[in-house]
Structure 1
């Protein structure tokens, strides 16, 4: 039996993995997407089932107005004293010298909850984790952000003791325990204790192709006491541009009940244009940063290493004590009979509520709010791209009375980077029409314009679908759900990737989504009724 990487496909970055008994859990970053923090569980490390998010109310997370790629950065899941502990960061600024953020802590007796109200900890830096020492003391370990323009912004790893009676940090105990290596951009720290050593695992090199994981260790938790592993990086793909997995780093270590070791890492799988050099451009990852798992062993000097080398492997042996787990089903057909959105659906910054719409009785009704550029009021419900080749289909009933009212199917990365096929109103022809538009770095382009497809007056339902085939995707429409017609040009999926966004914007950490949206710039909250949605991956992939 083998683990086939990545184990969590699509945008599942910054994995924090733990084991409790015979069950493994992974928590991932969600950034501006709601609900905050995704959870999965497994008993074999190969197949993972989703668990309801712990951040399910505004009291635990309020991201209204957060910039794209702000919000939840690198959560940390741990287990001690009969409780699950979750540290998460809410980042409010992503561009420029400052990274205003707040770190929070919540606990629960079970992975399903109930989770406590959050304890506010600090804002020293992001990517915080909680280390439970064997003497009962607990420490927050975090990246340290330095806004001063004459300093490097990543100022090493800070450790601060947590008072578990008050659930407050003791700032007088704060000290920098490791400055990082010359690779720089030291973040994502986790501490593990083994054979009398404190092992510090930390990501370095940034989130793109230079990304890696470095290791250091110390006999104490004193300031600047950690020595660097001589054969770093522990994992990384900077020197292996042709590897199937790229960007590996930023993750978490776990042992199995039988004493084996595994490491969960973020990774990326780049697409390549035929005209681009693999060793130069390196490619584009519209699926975002995913999660892989590698086998780990320890050398005679007590340092960890990835089996097969620091580039990692696509296929990895399962643990000898693995218990078979059912795989997660990516393909879905939702007819919206449930009165709650199922796990896998996401909104932006705030939870789905009556302001945004309603669900149940065979329809998802979205009330038109702001444009898809809006950071405060937006009616959008979407799912991650989980594969390079898939078809997403929806059926919508929508009766606009002005061009300011729109509803349809969107492929979305962030407020400045998205496209959609949508229904609106053509005041010249006095008819409903279907058009395609793209927002590319906030340059908005409508493709059909006066040639937008007119919808016959007797048509009440319009089917829209998106067919994604690697480097390109395109939209189609139908008036009966069977006879499909092309709609607009082929679009470039690279424009929905971290690699494209990072060229002009400081937040480039998520991935592509596909879903339904309704807009009413006139302010009348015109409803759009979506009666079905399907996401089907190409079986050949």
Structure 2
């Protein structure tokens, strides 16, 4: 037996709302994917130290087109019962106050890699669903409930519980409200565990920002009443502004083979105390059971820690290499994601030369923007693409995009100018305000583009005569600090004159971290 020191986060970049599960000797973490598809990314580990991409669950079964920004796939939960995997998730269709349109579904599979069943609809009373499989054979659904009558902006009203008829694939019996939350409010992310004589309810409270934390309560009966832990909050950074890990919450519980207990939770790493450029990431911390039957952090406080000791069979070394390269010679690598709609042969085609992307709608469209991108996993990074594009109109665009959502992005693209022919330009949208930068340069249709991020600043380059040339000003990207979803970097093609009217050819894409 060895001790391995692990540095948080254990999964970097936009990997929020982590839910951890152990099946036999393998650990899995599922995370939220929001508007990016495939949906519900799953990572795998044998030791809780190193995590590798394993699979995505929502590969054909979901339509996110038209969903507003920051909505879509929230807070998946994976569980296992009698040889079968279960996954739950919320498809959030609108968060416009006072209502919240959120529909909860579950799917099943014999393997974490599928094939997964068609989604089964459960309810729409609130988000963050989870299953609890009790020892008596019953399965229970928990979810946050939303009450539009509340005067507060956030209208989370507590946690409810209802039995699931697994055979009939439907909810049955009464709805039990088992927890109304504390004064921290914004009660969500319920997870239920049975340990010795008690049911333990985990919730996230305070909102998924600087006041975030984990609340624990317990009951000897599943429907309550639940008593609050005297050590609440289990973990929080709300009173620790100097801590490198912030916004800590949304936890789930796991025990390893050496009887160490851990919570896996979300966090941010804000620059200058306010710029969380990587979004919400996944972290881990050791906990223990007190003599009076409550959970506490091993450090006997509520402080999130950057370094954690994990017992392993053999000495392990944490590997956080985020380098990525794809020349499209063996299909699309699994790191790629698309916005709102899955890649199809109709717009994403592999050829002997590389990858063809057929034009979609504008980057501001919630329906058919044709974007392929990977998560930003490093505060400082370089992304580079080699491409060919032959525009004949200013409404034809193709290039390298740094993308948070349809209201916030920066894009360097090839297009057409009536005087100069094929040109390179930069466009930026910040909080929905679009700006076309004045910089214009005539370029070849075959070109290499590069984007270098140094936190909240970015700089584009293009290659001319085998030399990288700075293009445009240094770009302020404070919007990338929005902690909710995290930014992606990738490639895109548009034609606003004709549906599928243009094709961009991409020969390689690479990403590497910078110090």
Shorter chain as denominator, the TM-score bin is over 0.9
Look up the match of 1:483. 467
CA contact (8 A) 2:159 2:187 kept: yes
TM-score by length of 1: 0.91
What are the superposed Cα offsets for residues 159-199 of structure 1, whole Å, 9 maximum, x if unpaired? Answer: 010001111111x3211000111000000010000011000
Residue 323 of structure 1 deviates from its aligned partner by: 8.1
Q: Measure the CA separation in 1 of the matches of 2:69 and 2:158.
A: 25
2:405 corresponds to: 414
| 1:261-340 map, 5 Å | 261-272=261-272, 282-308=273-299, 309-321=301-313, 324=316, 327=319, 329-339=321-331
Q: Distance in 2 between matches of 1:242 and 1:493?
A: 23
Structure 2 Cα separation of the partners of residues 354 and 496 of structure 1: 31
Find the partner of 1:452 among 440, 443, 459: 440
The answer to whether the 8 A contact 2:47-2:312 is kept is no
Which is strand-richer, 1 or 2?
2
**Alignment match, 2:17:** 14
Say whether 1:368 aligns with 2:359: yes
* Mapping for residues 387-402 of structure 1, pairs under 5 Å: 387-402=378-393
Q: Please, what is the CA RMSD of the aligned residues? A: 1.5
Distance across 1 between alignment mates of 2:314 and 2:351: 39
Q: Which one is further off, 486-495 or 191-200?
A: 486-495
TM-score calculated relative to the size of structure 2: 0.96
**Residue number among 37, 41, 44 corresponding to 2:44 in the alignment:** 41
Contact kept in structure 2, 1:435 and 1:447, CA below 8 Å = yes
Alpha-carbon distance in structure 2 between the residues aligned to 1:323 and 1:53: 30
Tell me the equivalent position of 2:428: 438
Quote the offset at 1:311 in angstroms.
1.6
**Counterpart contact for 2:274–2:481, Cα < 8 Å:** no
User: 468, 490, 493: which is aligned to 1:515?
Assistant: 490
**What's the CA shift for 1:145?**
1.0
Number of the residue aligned with 1:248? 248
The residue correspondences of 1:36-75 to structure 2 (distance < 5 A) are 36-57=39-60, 60-75=61-76
Structure 1 counterpart SS, 2:479: helix
**Structure 2 CA distance for partners of 1:317 and 1:14, relative to 1, 3 Å:** same
Deviations 1:117-136 (A, max 9, x none): 11111111100000011111
**8 Å contact from structure 1 (residues 43, 325) kept in 2:** no
* 1:417 to partner: Cα distance: 0.5
Structure 2 counterpart SS, 1:117: coil
CA distance, structure 2, for counterparts of residue 68 and residue 495 of structure 1: 14
Q: C-alpha displacement at 1:149, in angstroms?
A: 4.5
Of the three residues 367, 370, 373, the one matched with 1:379 is 370
What pairs with 1:74-89 in structure 2 (closer than 5 Å)?
Answer: 74-89=75-90
The runs of 4+ residues in structure 1 deviating greater than 3 Å are: 149-152, 320-329
Tell me how far apart the structure 1 counterparts of residues 327 and 262 of structure 2 sit (CA, whole Å): 39
Conservation of the 8 A alpha-carbon contact between 2:422 and 2:445: no
More displaced, 3-12 or 524-533? 524-533
Please list the CA deviations of residues 240-291 of structure 1 after superposition, one character each: whole Å capped at 9, or x if unmatched. 111111111102100112221011000000011xxxxxxxxx3111110000
Q: Structure 1 residue 355: deviation in Å?
A: 3.0
SS at match of 1:54: strand
Distance in 2 (CA, whole Å) between partners of 1:392 and 1:431 is: 26
Residue 493 of structure 1: CA displacement? 3.0
Does the CA-based 8 Å contact 1:4-1:46 persist in structure 2? no
Q: CA deviation at 1:2?
A: 1.1
By how many angstroms is 1:447 displaced?
Answer: 1.3
Cα distance in structure 2, aligned partners of 1:99 and 1:362: 46
Whole-angstrom distance in 2 between the partners of 1:229 and 1:185 = 18
Gaps of 5+ in 2: none
- CA–CA distance in structure 2, aligned partners of residues 362 and 325 of structure 1: 38
Contact 1:413/1:497, CA 8 A, preserved across alignment: no
Distance 1:240 1:470 in 2: 23
**What count of residue pairs does the alignment treat as equivalent?**
509
